[in-house]
């Protein structure tokens, strides 16, 4: 039994890169673009002419597209601006409740499920214990119950799909789990397809750190077309990378393995078989209660990452960070400042902050796995066009 149509505006998708672009794809692209601008504007709203200016489309095209969005219930007008000597502008905003998505955070011992609206705001949250090491059948059953539970919380919202965040390693493209620590029977389990069939909904699977990073796109102050790294320090250490405004997963969903960056190659052995990994050094410091030391080690790894990827900001999250966020932010920021000074780098320093969302951050981000594609490809153009002479 198929669900309500997941993607508005037809089945064609706005393919961005190595794919031919036809008329329906063009329509989808521009529609998604305006939806993204509407989302970015938030509750304040945007006028048609502002949308036209930001999108590069003509005001008339914006009028047509917003009219379609209104007809589909995705956008609505929200009052008017003050006049500047003529007819006042009509302000438009996204209708958050028009569509919803389920976000699931499957951790080793618990499951967090959220039902998020188009703005990403959770309208229902559930948190329950989960034996991830148990059989796949039992886990799927549990997951289905939680999904059904959050779906009934709200008044029959149109659910586009389910985003699932797991500890990894896994393959995002195929939705197959590779390894689950302590539970070898999960190896190669096609989680996405199994869940999709069980739930009758589209399913997207990704690593927990990737989901968390995706959930942070646009939430940071500057509007977020830049690059940042989300560092997650909990039972392990991992990262999610947002480069040029888009989540970078790597060809095998293997990107972001930050924990086993070697920063002391003659250092103490790590469980991974190598020596001097950031994770080993960091967790050892945490174990002996030396949080500033752990922060400093994290800072060394973060400095390497900033050097290599030139990110705008570093966001810290995870259980351990949440215990003393001030210590970790200060420690990492100090290390980055020292590095920038040593390298003679000018300009504003890399901002280090804690990630918003707390314990629910991963589940919120998982919902974005489904919601994100509605709002257009968040990636800048690959190259800058050659500027003409004078």
Partner DNA sequence: CCACTTAAGCAACGCTGTTGCCAAAGTGCA
Partner DNA sequence: TGCACTTTGGCAACAGCGTTGCTTAAGTGG
Contacts with DNA, residue ranges (CB under 7 A)? 20-24, 26-27, 30-31, 47-49, 57-61, 63-65, 67, 83-90
Nearer to DNA, 24 or 234 (CB): 24
- Binding segment for a second copy (CB under 8 A), chosen from 42-50, 124-132, 262-270, 282-290, is 262-270
85 makes contact with a second copy (CB under 8 A): no
The answer for residues whose C-beta is within 8 angstroms of residue 158's C-beta and 6 or more apart is 4, 98, 99, 100
70, 76 contact by CB (below 8 A):
yes
Q: Are 219 and 242 in contact (CB under 8 A)?
A: no
Instruction: Decide: is 257 part of the binding site for a second copy (CB under 8 A).
Output: yes
Q: Does residue 185 interact with a second copy by CB under 8 A?
A: no
Q: Which residues contact 327 (CB under 8 A, 6 or more apart)?
A: 291, 292, 295
Cβ closest to a second copy, residue 133 vs residue 377: 377
Write a three-state SS string for 19-49: CCCCHHHHHHHHHHHHHHHHHHHHHHCEEHH
Q: CB of 43: closest distance to a second copy in angstroms?
A: 21
- Assess contact for 81 and 41: CB atoms under 8 A: no
Among 227, 282, 333, 357, binds a second copy (CB under 8 A): 227
With H, G, I as helix, E, B as strand and everything else as coil, classify residue 247: strand
Tell me which of a second copy, DNA, none is bound by residue 244, counting a contact when its beta carbon lies within the kind-specific cut-off of 5 to 8 angstroms: a second copy
Beta pairing partners, 243: 246
Number of residues that bind a second copy (CB under 8 A): 109
* Least spacing, CB of residue 93 vs DNA, in Å: 13
- 369 scored as a contact of a second copy (CB under 8 A): yes
Tokens encoding 134: 């148990």
How far is the C-alpha of 71 from the C-alpha of 65, rounded, in Å? 10
| Spacing of C-alpha 206 from chain mean position | 10
Return the one option of DNA, a second copy, none that residue 274 interacts with (CB less than 5 to 8 A, by type).
a second copy
SS3 label, residue 12? coil
Interacting partner of 60 out of a second copy, DNA, none (Cβ under 5 to 8 A depending on kind):
DNA
Distance CA 370, CA 181 (A): 26
* Residue 129 vs 389, nearer CB to a second copy: 389
**Could you tell me which residues are beta bridge partners of residue 163?**
103, 204
Interface pick for a second copy out of 111, 159, 233, 370 (rule CB under 8 A): 370
Residue span binding a second copy (CB under 8 A) among the ranges 78-86, 92-100, 129-137, 238-246: 238-246
260 binds a second copy per the rule CB under 8 A: yes
Both tokens of 372, joined, read 């994100």
Q: Pick from DNA, a second copy, none: which does 218 bind, CB < 5 to 8 A by kind?
A: none
- Whether residue 191 contacts residue 140, with contact meaning beta carbons closer than 8 Å, is answered with no
Closest approach of DNA to the CB of residue 51, in Å: 9
Taking the least distance from each CB to DNA, the nearer of 28 and 372 is 28
DSSP state of 347: S
Residues 281-320 that bind a second copy (CB under 8 A): 300, 303-305, 307-312
User: Given candidates 82, 156, 287, 390, which one binds a second copy under the rule CB under 8 A?
Assistant: 390
């Amino acid at each position: 039994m198929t669900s309500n149509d997941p993607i508005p505006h037809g089945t064609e998708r706005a393919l961005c890169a190595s794919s031919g672009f036809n008329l329906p794809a063009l329509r989808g692209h521009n529609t998604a673009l305006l939806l993204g601008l509407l989302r970015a504007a938030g509750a304040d709203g945007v006028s048609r002419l502002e949308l036209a200016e930001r999108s590069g489309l003509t005001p008339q095209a914006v009028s047509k597209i917003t009219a379609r969005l209104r007809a589909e219930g995705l956008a609505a007008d929200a009052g008017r601006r003050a006049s500047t000597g003529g007819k006042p502008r009509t302000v438009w905003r996204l209708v958050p409740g028009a569509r919803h998505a389920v976000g699931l955070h499957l951790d080793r011992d618990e499951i967090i499920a959220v039902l998020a609206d188009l703005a990403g705001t959770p309208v229902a949250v559930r948190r329950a214990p989960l034996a991830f090491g148990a059989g796949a059948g039992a886990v799927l059953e549990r997951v289905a119950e939680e999904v059904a539970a959050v779906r009934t919380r709200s008044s029959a919202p149109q659910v586009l799909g389910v985003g699932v965040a797991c500890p990894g390693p896994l393959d995002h493209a195929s939705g197959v789990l590779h390894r689950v620590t302590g539970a070898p029977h999960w190896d190669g389990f096609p989680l996405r397809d199994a869940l999709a069939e069980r739930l009758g909904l589209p399913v997207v699977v990704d690593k927990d750190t990737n989901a968390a990073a995706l959930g942070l796109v646009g939430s940071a102050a500057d509007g977020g077309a830049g690059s940042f790294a989300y560092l997650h320090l909990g039972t392990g250490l991992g990262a999610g990378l947002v480069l040029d405004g888009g989540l970078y997963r790597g060809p095998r969903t293997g990107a972001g393995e930050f924990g086993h960056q070697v920063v002391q190659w003659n250092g103490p052995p790590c469980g991974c078989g190598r020596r001097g990994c950031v994770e080993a050094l960091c967790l050892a410091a945490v174990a002996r209660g030396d949080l500033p030391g752990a922060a400093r080690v994290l800072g060394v790894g973060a400095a390497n990452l900033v050097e290599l990827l030139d990110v705008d900001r570093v966001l810290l999250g995870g259980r351990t960070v949440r215990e003393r966020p001030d210590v970790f932010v200060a420690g990492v920021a100090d290390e980055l400042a020292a590095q920038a000074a040593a390298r003679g780098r000018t300009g504003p320093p890399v901002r280090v902050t804690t990630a918003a969302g707390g314990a629910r951050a991963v589940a919120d981000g998982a919902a974005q796995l489904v919601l994100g594609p509605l709002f257009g490809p968040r990636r800048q153009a690959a190259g800058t066009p050659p500027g003409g002479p004078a």
